[in-house]
Structure 1
């Protein structure tokens, strides 16, 4: 957007007009410096280039004054920017990647693993655009996966493209010694990350930008969305201990159980126990969340839609302009015109008094 910040400066054109009129009137009354009784003696003289360009110094003086008026009006060009202030949710997605998550499910007419089904539903949950999932724009989201050991795949971020990339690259365990279901350790890790969320977002932003930034993100609530298809059978902390930590730090747990209660065989030929629904109900209730079970991709999507509705985010955007001053070319052109006028008046186009 181009504008003049001080448009009242254009009133100076009126002053310049009055000066021009005054000069005209004054110029007509001036007396000749040398008087001749007969000017016919000059009739045979031709008109040289100096005579033809005699108007140029006056033109340069006028151009200088006009350009100075434009410079005084302060032309500038503005770029619209937005200062976005978000009152959102700090959320940790905690996903089971044990070998039993390789069990098949039918998703949109195709037979794929539970784990791939979960990744697709979570991606829709984050980005929106499908069904009743509107996306989590403005939320600070992190990703923790777990089997025998929990692992932070992605720290809490506001830039969700990074999170989606980590989600797509994640896989179930490949080795028997990694297999297991450490629900307690995973929830405790996620809770610890959320407990430090306020400082983490500022530190992450500073690392990305290389400078101190203002934090326009205000945490409305802290949430863990836990998804598993088994029972806690590994780890140092019990799920109950982890839930106590979450409750102490004001973190809600939404627990999701996926798959049937029928015994399954993993790729390592270890019999899998059924989902511990009593435990998941207990840790969710203790922290103010809820437990829900999904035996199909449709039910899984409905659960995430419910979480999406319960945890709303408010985004406020204030537009402002960043202006770049453009008066410099006018000022420089005025100076050049004035300098050229002085040079011409004192050299090539010099006049007698």
Structure 2
């Protein structure tokens, strides 16, 4: 479902405010009434009055108004599923979630800057299938390759260093996961001529096994590996924040108790890109890193992808408007009954 005029949905916030105002007015009226009428006298004055009807009247009023607001916003529902074909490449993004990505030598932090750049990348994709891998010493396919960019953004937003079981980095784990993801895609969908790309975003600190064997397997399967470095050569400490308050409580230390300084390791990332038949870029203060990678993507061989999407969207406001008018009519009838 999509909305033709979603701005009108903000009017729904007025409904709770109106309910609160009416409740407050009712309490004040009751306090004033108690000064002039005893409970017994007021019960006699209420003879023939239907208290439940008053509640039904108010509920009908607000339900009717809510439905009319939704109708004005113009809900559109796809009435037909069509196969949509697009041209693009296959892209897997591997995001490093090791603790060093919490360093703040790149503002607001290496991880948040990386997520922002991935989001910018997705915004500028046109017909490419994209998936997301998160990794430290282990690696997981967070989002399989898809043309549904909104779904991938949801997985990207929740990516955090706290969700991984280890805090070190092993590039071979990310590469092996990427290989399995590509093999699974070929099994499930017809193969295309699209270029296969793995983009690794990291500060380059590798604590795992040698990645040469994993890179060889990627090369044999025609998967190019590009790397995007984030961080500074001067380095930074790794802050530790309280989970509840968000206050800084210290900095990460090594086994000897010394404060750790983490630095960008471009040599490692350059070596991966060179062996992986890709290129190395860096995320600095500007946007040149991700922009350069996007320019390279446009030069790669494009393939044709097909996906099932809802089409032929039709406005369904009339159903909501009709129901809203019925509820308002009920409210008006009960209001006239109360007056009589």
TM range (shorter): 0.5 to 0.7
Which residue of structure 1 aligns with residue 167 of structure 2? 179
Superposed CA deviations along residues 121-150 of structure 1, whole A, max 9, x for unmatched, are 1111112xxxxxxx2232221100112221
Larger radius of gyration: 1
Distance 2:128 2:91 in 1: 7
Which residue of structure 2 aligns with residue 126 of structure 1? 122
The CA deviation at 1:315 is 6.1
How many aligned positions are there? Answer: 212
**TM (normalized to structure 1)?**
0.53
- Indicate yes or no: 2:136 matched with 1:162: no
Distance 1:157 1:238 in 2: 30
**TM (normalized to structure 2)?**
0.55
Superposed CA deviations along residues 179-237 of structure 1, whole A, max 9, x for unmatched, are 1111111122112211332223x4xxxxxxxxxxxx6x834110000111032103xx5
Match of 1:310 among 299, 322, 332: 299
Contact preservation (8 Å) 1:243, 1:287: yes
The CA deviation at 1:304 is 3.6
Structure 1 residues not aligned, in runs of 5+: 1-78, 128-134, 203-214, 323-353
Distance 1:269 1:316 in 2: 48
Mark the CA change 1:230 to 1:156 in structure 2 (over 3 Å): closer, same or farther. same
Contact preservation (8 Å) 2:195, 2:302: no
Contact preservation (8 Å) 1:263, 1:272: yes
Superposed CA deviations along residues 3-58 of structure 1, whole A, max 9, x for unmatched, are xxxxxxxxxxxxxxxxxxxxxxxxxxxxxxxxxxxxxxxxxxxxxxxxxxxxxxxx
Structure 2 residues not aligned, in runs of 5+: 1-78, 241-251, 255-259, 312-340
Distance 1:311 1:164 in 2: 24
| 3-state DSSP of counterpart to 2:228 | strand
Mark the CA change 1:174 to 1:199 in structure 2 (over 3 Å): closer, same or farther. closer
Which residue of structure 2 aligns with residue 7 of structure 1? none
Distance 2:305 2:201 in 1: 31
Contact preservation (8 Å) 2:143, 2:155: yes
Contact preservation (8 Å) 2:226, 2:279: yes
Which residue of structure 2 aligns with residue 301 of structure 1? 290
Mark the CA change 1:258 to 1:117 in structure 2 (over 3 Å): closer, same or farther. same
Q: For 1:193-208, list aligned pairs within 5 A.
A: 193-200=181-188, 202=189
The CA deviation at 1:171 is 0.9
